[in-house]
Amino acid sequence: MRRKYGRIRKMENLIVFPGTYEKLIEQGFVAVEQSNFERAVEVFDQAILYEPDYPEFLGPYAVALYETKEFERAKEIAARLLHSGATDYIDAMELYLTISIQLQEYEEVEMTIEALIDEGIVPQDMLKKFNYLRELNGRLSNRYVQEEQVVPANPFTMEEFNQMDTAQQQYALASLEGMDLTTITPLLVEIAERDDVAPLVITFTLTLLHQAGYMEEVTVRKFGWKQEVIPGGMTLPGRDDLTGDVLVEIDRLLLKDPSRLEMAHGLIEKFAITVFPFGWQQHSAVEVATAYVNYIEGLFSGQPVPETELNRLIRQVDSDWDF
Model confidence at 144, pLDDT cuts 50, 70, 90, reads low
pTM score: 0.56
> Exposed (0-12), middle (13-18) or buried (19+): which is 1, by Cβ within 10 Å?
exposed
Q: Is 55 helix (H, G, I), strand (E, B) or coil?
A: helix
Domain ranges in the chain? 149-234, 241-320
Give, in degrees to the nearest 5, the angle at Cα 103 between 99 and 108. 80
pLDDT at 169: 86
Residue-wise pLDDT tens digits, 242-282: 888 999 999 999 988 888 888 898 889 888 888 999 888 88
Model confidence at 143, pLDDT cuts 50, 70, 90, reads low
- CA-based nearest residue to 158, from 187, 182, 193, 138: 187
Residue-wise pLDDT tens digits, 278-302: 888 888 999 999 999 999 988 888 8
* Domain 241-320 falls under CATH 3.40.50: no
Give, in degrees to the nearest 5, the angle at Cα 200 between 77 and 135. 60
- B/e letters for 159-191, b = 16+ CB within 10 Å, e = fewer, are eebeebeeebbbbbbebbbebebeebbebbbeb
Q: Is 224 helix (H, G, I), strand (E, B) or coil?
A: coil
